[in-house]
Structures are given as C-alpha cells and as structure tokens.
Amino acid sequence: MNPNITEVAFRIRSLREDLEFTPEEMAEATNRSVEEYIAQESGEEDLSFTFLYKCAEKLGVDVIELLTSEDILGVV
C-alpha cells in the first residue's frame, strides 16, 4: 500500500470540514502549530504516522480509513 499524500491530506481536510472542526482545533489535537497543521493538511509536508493517528482519533475514524478511504466519504 502506497497512499498518495495529497489524497490522504484531502480526506483529512474533507472530514475536518464535514465535522466542522477548525484548523486550530486539529492543530491542537495533533500537537502542531496551525501553520504546521495546514501544511500537512494541504499535502505540502509528509504525513507521519503519529499525525495520521491523531487526526483519525479526532475525526473519529480508523487510520486505515484515512489511508484507503474505505468507509468514509461514501467511497469504498
């Protein structure tokens, strides 16, 4: 499995927007500055497992769902 960073970042952003979380709330949940969070959410920076795990936890999904889009965003 080699997920595209841009696709994963898009899924994170889409879920964040759907759940009405602000970038500030996500930055806090992932222990990053708002600038760092936005860079990762936009796909400008690599996504560490820790970042993905903390995003998944805040968004209420499994990390695998963020990586593969299974069961989220109506995509299987």
Q: Which domains does the chain have, with CATH numbers?
A: 5-68 (1.10.260.40)
Given a cut of 70, is residue 70 above it in pLDDT? no
Pick the residue with more confidence: 65 or 54? Answer: 54
| CA gap 34, 23 in Å, rounded | 6
Pick the residue with more confidence: 9 or 68? Answer: 9
| CA gap 74, 38 in Å, rounded | 24
The pLDDT confidence band at residue 72, using thresholds 50, 70 and 90, is low
Pick the residue with more confidence: 60 or 71? Answer: 60
| CA gap 10, 43 in Å, rounded | 8
| CA gap 68, 29 in Å, rounded | 22
Q: What angle do CA 10, 12, 18 make, to 5 degrees?
A: 100
pLDDT of amino acid 69: 76
Given a cut of 80, is residue 71 above it in pLDDT? no
Mean pLDDT rounded to a whole number for the chain: 89
| CA gap 69, 71 in Å, rounded | 6
